[in-house]
Amino acid sequence: MGDFTLELNDDQKSVRDWIHGFAADVMRPAAAEWDEREETPWPIIQEAAKIGLYSLDFYAQQFFDPTGLGIPMTMEELFWGDAGIALSIVGTGLAAVGVLANGTEEQIGTWVPQMYGDADDVKVAAFCSSEPDAGSDVAAMRTRAVYDEAKDEWVINGTKTWATNGGIAGVHVVVAVVDPDLGSRGHASFIVPPGTPGLSQGQKFKKHGIRASHTAEVVLDNVRVPGHCLLGGKDKLDERLARARERVAAAAAGQADSAERIKNAAMATFEASRPAVGAMAVGTARAAYEYALEYAVDRRQFGRPIIDNQGVAFQLADMRTQIDAARLLVWRASWMATAGRPFTAAEGSMSKLFASETAKKVTAQAIQILGGNGYTREYPVERMHRDSAIYTIFEGTSEIQRLVIARALSGLPIR
């Protein structure tokens, strides 16, 4: 593991420029069309697959970048191109990470390649966790998985919501309750293979932004999956549940290993993924800033470029400063996660919070600089502003990020 650095090496710069070229030449020209169509941009995903940008190998290389900057660099460039199309390209990664983090070697080798398919037969995957009554409150999850020992099958019933690629995916990764008495510690993840009876798409959401990314409910009605589709296997699950029961009993008896400490340990896992969302927000914010800067230089009013007015110039100065600050927080957190440094001050949440709020603010300022033009769909900043709203919501709302940070700073179970 190398020291923290603010300078990309030559290989990273080459990859960055390659992704940027795809974002500029393929994604951006198609962005408005797919936003209006509100459909998955299969041709764009296929183009990404043809050059190796949509593939397990590429994302694995970026994930294992020893500097920690591979993933945030990739996310920033793709989301600079267009947030909706980018989310369609990277959304499968949510399910892949779920298998990579919890699955056995055999499960990883069997299912992750199927999630992507190949350039001639592109596939997508879906990670299904949120529910109508269980978003930030994961302990309220109701989807149940019951083991049928006679058939060595798990029977899953419930409804998932806000699932990227939900219903159109080949492989679905579903989080379900296996022991209701343990709350969030009684959950497990399951592979639902392509064509499994009982899984269907529910409502497809018509969204404010990121409209080129498919988001829908997933309904599971007596879905039966083989025992080998439990991620990690039955023995590992039984051991984990036994430990959780011991800890809950210890907490009830007032011993040191309390339920709150267990919850904090689980939260630390989520912390490591949040810088990637921050990098997405940085990409969208940068795109809006760059467009507004070019517009302010070219647009003339009262015989001079509008950037000659301090009211415009100072806004652009603030926008660039906030974007750079957000990127620094994202890079720090990404490096810390790769280096195994503990997020003692919730640095992962800090990066996601600041970057997502920056994206909303910067894209709104870009509309203001363009004036009436910025409010129309003839110019892209309107779409970027709609897209930016999601960053303060998914992967934990800004309010949840502040709660996590406050708890980390104080050591208290702040509500």
DSSP, res 181: G
Alpha-carbon span 201 to 223, nearest angstrom: 13
Amino acid at position 158, single letter? G
The residues annotated with a catalytic role in the active site are: 395
Alpha-carbon span 247 to 16, nearest angstrom: 46
* Cβ atoms < 10 Å from Cβ of 67: 20
Tokens 């390209």: give the residue: 89
Using only C-alpha atoms, what is the Rg of the chain? 22
DSSP-based three-state secondary structure for 198:
coil
Nearest to 132 by CA among 159, 156, 157: 159
User: DSSP letters of 137-170?
Assistant: -GGG---EEEEETTTTEEEEEEEEEEEETTTT-S
Q: How far apart are the first and last CA of the chain?
A: 37
Alpha carbons within 13 A on the beta-carbon side of 84: 30
26 contacts: CB under 8 Å, gap ≥ 6: 44, 47, 48, 81
152 by Cβ neighbours in 10 Å (0-12 / 13-18 / 19+) ranks as: exposed
